[in-house]
Chain A
C-alpha cells in the first residue's frame, strides 16, 4: 500500500509532483503479484489466494521488495482464478490454494516459471507465458479496461502512479469547457449504454440548456442477463469513472453528480464509495478542484433492482425518490431531467473512456473503429464458447473474430447457431451474418443492437423459440407496467410463445407475433418497450423454419422443448447395462440382459433421466 500525504493537491503541478514521487518509490527490481478478485475469480476463491500471498510476503525478509495486489477483472474468467507476476508479466491460470507456496518459491524468489499453471492453447497445445501470447488477449484492445487487472482499485495512489487524474489536471489547467467538448466530438465517442447517441452532442445540449443547477449522472444500473461490463469497471477501476465524470461536469457546467448503482453490486458500491472518499481527501472532488474555481462532488445512489431503472427517465424518477417509471421524452432530459433541471446521463463505460480521450486526444480515439462507431467496446462473452469472459475489442471487428478467435469457438465440438447481442432487447444474429462488423448501425441493420454489451453465444442445441420466450418472459416481468403496449402486449406475446413451445401453436401465431411486435415498437412509451420485441422479430427473421416446425410439425428441431421430441434407444449402441431401466422413474423402459432396451413411449414422461444417465449415449432425442 502506498502511503499518501494528507495534504490536498492545490494545482496540476502538485498532482504531477505526486505522480513522480509515487513512481520513484518503485525500484525496477521490485516484484509484484496481482491476484484477480473480479466477480468470476472471486467466486472461485481468489480473495483467499490474495490473503495467502499477503501472508507469504510478510514472512519474507526485507531484502526483496515484493508487493501483493488485489486487482479487478482480467477478462478470461473461464480460466480463473488468475494471478499475474511482475517482472515478466507471467500469467497463471486456475490457481488453487496449494499453488501459492509453489508460485512464491519458484517464480517470485527463484525466477522460474511454474509450467503446470500456464495457459495451454487448446488448438495447438502450446503454452503461453504472458497474456500477449494468448489469442484471447491478442485480438483485444483495451481502453476502458486498460486499468483493470493492473491497478489496485482500492488505492488512489496506484491509479495516479499509472497516469490517473492527469487528464483532469490537463482539462482544468489548460482547456476551456468548449475545448473539452470539441475533443470528445473529435473522438466520435458514442454512448456505450445502448442507444449510441453522440456523447459530445449530449454534453453540448446540456451545457447550452437554460436552468441551474445542472446534474451529471453515471448509469451503473446494469441489469442485462449475462452482462457484467460496468460492474468490472466499477469494481476494477472506479477512479476512471470518477475522473471521467469530473471532466464531463467541467465541460457541462455541473456541480453535482450522481452514480446510480444497482443494489445487487455491493462491491461496486463499496469500491466507488472508497474511491470518492480518497478523491475528496486529495482535493480531486469537492470545492475548488486542484486549486481551480471549479467545484464538483459525487453522490452514490443504490437502485432497488428494477431493470427498467436503467432507462434514463426511470432512473431519474428513482433518484428523486419516486417509483422508477419512465416518462415521455418529448422534452429531453438534457433540458429537463433530474428535478426538472438540465441533466446529462452517461453509462459507466462512456465515462471511463473520457480520461483516455483527453490524454491521447480525440484524433487517436477516432483512429480506432469504423466510420461511424469509434473506439472500442467492452463485451461480456458468455454462453457456449470455450473462453467466456470480459473482452474489449476495437469497433469494426467481426463477430466471427470475437466468437472464434477470442472465444475460442464453440465448446464440445458443437456447431455455432446464433449470437445474441444487446441484452434482452437485442436480437439473435445467425451464422450467415457472422462476418458482420461490430458497429452501432450495422448491428441495428441486422435486427439486433449494440446494447450495453452482452454477447450470448448459442450452439445447435439451443431452441430459438425458447430463446425468444426466455427474453420475452424476462421483459414482461421487468416491464414497469405503466403503458398498455408493453404491459399487455408482452404478456400476449409470451402467451403465444408459451403455447408454441408447448406444442399447441396455431397457424397464424407467427403473424400474430409480428403484429404485436410492430405495435410495441410504434406505441410503447420507453426504449424498453419499443425494443422488447427484438428477440422475437430477429428469431422469426432468421429461424422462421424453427417456428414452423414447432407449430406445424409439433417438433422442436433443437430438441429442447419438452414434448416436441421423444427419447429412443439406439439398439446398436445399447449395451443392455440396465442403468436407464433402473433410473426410469415411471418404469417405461423394458429390456433384459444382452437384449437392447426399449422405451415405452406411452408411459414415458420425457423426464430425460435415461438420456442423462446412459454411459454409452445410446439414448437419443428424436
Chain B
C-alpha cells in the first residue's frame, strides 16, 4: 500500500489535478445558450468561432492587433441586472460570461452601425453584401460625410502597413468627420514599397492595385504612390515591386542568388520553362 501511494504521488496525473485546483480554471462563454470553453484572454469573437456563431466584423483581422474601431461586432454581455454592449473582437474573456449575439439589442446595435457605414460608403459591393447578410437592406441616412470616397476608416490598411510590412507609409490625417487615410501631406509616400497588402486587407474594396504596364510601375490607389516593377525577362509582363523583393530578402532566409534567379521570370514563363526543361529531361531519359 505504502509503495502505491508513493508512486501515485509522483505521477504527472496527480500534478495536473493539483494545477487545476490551484486555479487556472478554463472560463466558459455561453453564447446564445451554447457553452464553449476558451483560454483565458481569448476574445468573445474567438469563443463565437468555436461555437460556430457568426458575428459580422470589418476592422478585425487575425494578423493585426484589434482596434475595435468599426464597432460592427457589438454583442450583449450579461451584467446581471442589465446588459452591456461590448465589441466581440477585443473583449477579453477572463471569467465565465454569458453573451447574447442574436438578441434584439445586439442586432439593433449592429444594424445601426451598419446603416451608418452604408451611408458613408454607398458604392461598396462588399459592404452591401455584408449588410444583406445581416438583414440590412438599405440605410435610412443620407451620405453626409465626404472625406474619402467609399472608405469606412476601419484602419486595417494602416495597421497592416505598420505592424506587418513595417513601413508605416500611410496613416490618418484630420479628425472627426474629416479623418482620412493618407500618406504624409497627401503626397505619394516614399515609404510605400508597392506591396499591395493594404489592398488585400481592405474589407470594402476601396484600395486598389493598378499596374501601369508602359511605365513598368505599380500604383496603390487612392494613395497615388508608385513603385518600380520587376518585369519578366521573357515576356516583359510585370512580376512584383522591386522594393518588395528587397524587403523579402531582408526578412526571409533564402539563398539570395537562387531567389534572384527565381524572380527573373514571371510565374507563367517560369512554368513553361520548367515544363520545357522537364520535357527535355524526359526525352533524354527515354533515350
Name A residues whose Cβ lies closer than 8 Å to a Cβ of B: 306, 308, 323, 327-328, 330-331, 476-485, 487-492, 495, 512, 515-516, 519, 522-525
In the complex, chain A residues whose CB is within 8 Å of the CB of B86 = 330
Instruction: Report yes or no: B177 in contact with A491, Cβ–Cβ below 8 A.
Output: yes
In the complex, chain A residues whose CB is within 8 Å of the CB of B145 = 487-488, 491
Instruction: Report yes or no: A519 in contact with B175, Cβ–Cβ below 8 A.
Output: no
Q: Is B252 an interface residue (CB 8 A)?
A: no
| Residue of B74, B112, B178, B179 with most partner-chain A CB within 10 A | B112
CB contacts under 8 Å to A, within B32-80, are: 67-72, 74
Instruction: Report yes or no: A495 in contact with B116, Cβ–Cβ below 8 A.
Output: no
Nearest CB on B from A309, distance (A): 11
In the complex, chain A residues whose CB is within 8 Å of the CB of B120 = 488
Among B10-18, B136-144, B202-210, B222-230, the stretch in contact with A? B136-144
In the complex, chain A residues whose CB is within 8 Å of the CB of B119 = 488, 492
Instruction: Report yes or no: A477 in contact with B113, Cβ–Cβ below 8 A.
Output: no
In the complex, chain B residues whose CB is within 8 Å of the CB of A524 = 71
CA distance A491 to B117 in the complex (A): 12
Nearest CB on A from B9, distance (A): 32
- What are the 6 A-B residue pairs with the smallest beta carbon separation, nearest first? A481-B179, A488-B116, A519-B112, A479-B176, A522-B85, A491-B177
Instruction: Report yes or no: A519 in contact with B91, Cβ–Cβ below 8 A.
Output: no
Q: Is B174 an interface residue (CB 8 A)?
A: yes
CB < 8 Å: which of B85, B90, B140 contacts A330? Answer: B90
| Residue of B69, B119, B152 with most partner-chain A CB within 10 A | B69
In the complex, chain B residues whose CB is within 8 Å of the CB of A485 = 71, 112-113, 116
CB < 8 Å: which of B68, B92, B112, B155 contacts A525? Answer: B68
CA distance A323 to B162 in the complex (A): 14
CB contacts under 8 Å to A, within B126-170, are: 140-142, 144-145, 152-153, 155
Instruction: Report yes or no: B109 in contact with A522, Cβ–Cβ below 8 A.
Output: yes
Instruction: Report yes or no: B177 in contact with A481, Cβ–Cβ below 8 A.
Output: yes
| Residue of A330, A490, A512 with most partner-chain B CB within 10 A | A330
Which single residue of chain B is at the shortest CB-CB distance from A521? Answer: B85
In the complex, chain B residues whose CB is within 8 Å of the CB of A327 = 67
CA distance A523 to B144 in the complex (A): 20
Nearest CB on B from A171, distance (A): 34
Q: Is B107 an interface residue (CB 8 A)?
A: no
In the complex, chain B residues whose CB is within 8 Å of the CB of A523 = 71, 74, 85, 109, 112-113
Instruction: Report yes or no: B109 in contact with A519, Cβ–Cβ below 8 A.
Output: yes
Q: Is B172 an interface residue (CB 8 A)?
A: yes
Name B residues whose Cβ lies closer than 8 Å to a Cβ of A: 67-72, 74, 85-87, 90-92, 105, 109, 112-113, 116-117, 119-120, 140-142, 144-145, 152-153, 155, 172, 174-179
In the complex, chain B residues whose CB is within 8 Å of the CB of A489 = 116
CA distance A232 to B177 in the complex (A): 33
Instruction: Report yes or no: A515 in contact with B112, Cβ–Cβ below 8 A.
Output: yes
Which single residue of chain A is at the shortest CB-CB distance from B155? Answer: A482
6 A-B pairs, CB-CB below 8 angstroms? A328-B68, A331-B92, A484-B72, A485-B71, A525-B68, A525-B71
Instruction: Report yes or no: A487 in contact with B68, Cβ–Cβ below 8 A.
Output: no
CB < 8 Å: which of A479, A491, A492, A516 contacts B175? Answer: A479
In the complex, chain A residues whose CB is within 8 Å of the CB of B70 = 483-484
CA distance A487 to B172 in the complex (A): 14
| Residue of A480, A492, A512 with most partner-chain B CB within 10 A | A492
A331-B92, A485-B71, A488-B141 given; 19 more Cβ-contact pairs under 8 Å: A306-B175, A327-B67, A476-B176, A476-B177, A478-B176, A479-B176, A480-B179, A481-B175, A484-B117, A484-B153, A488-B120, A488-B177, A491-B176, A492-B144, A495-B142, A515-B112, A519-B109, A519-B112, A523-B113
In the complex, chain A residues whose CB is within 8 Å of the CB of B174 = 481
In the complex, chain B residues whose CB is within 8 Å of the CB of A482 = 67, 69, 153, 155, 179
Nearest CB on B from A512, distance (A): 7
Which single residue of chain B is at the shortest CB-CB distance from A516? Answer: B112
In the complex, chain B residues whose CB is within 8 Å of the CB of A495 = 142, 144
In the complex, chain B residues whose CB is within 8 Å of the CB of A328 = 68, 87, 90-91
Q: A488-B116, A523-B113 are in contact. Are A481 and B90 (CB under 8 A)?
A: no
In the complex, chain A residues whose CB is within 8 Å of the CB of B176 = 476-481, 487, 490-491
Instruction: Report yes or no: A492 in contact with B152, Cβ–Cβ below 8 A.
Output: no
CB < 8 Å: which of A330, A479, A487 contacts B91? Answer: A330
| Residue of B70, B71, B112 with most partner-chain A CB within 10 A | B71
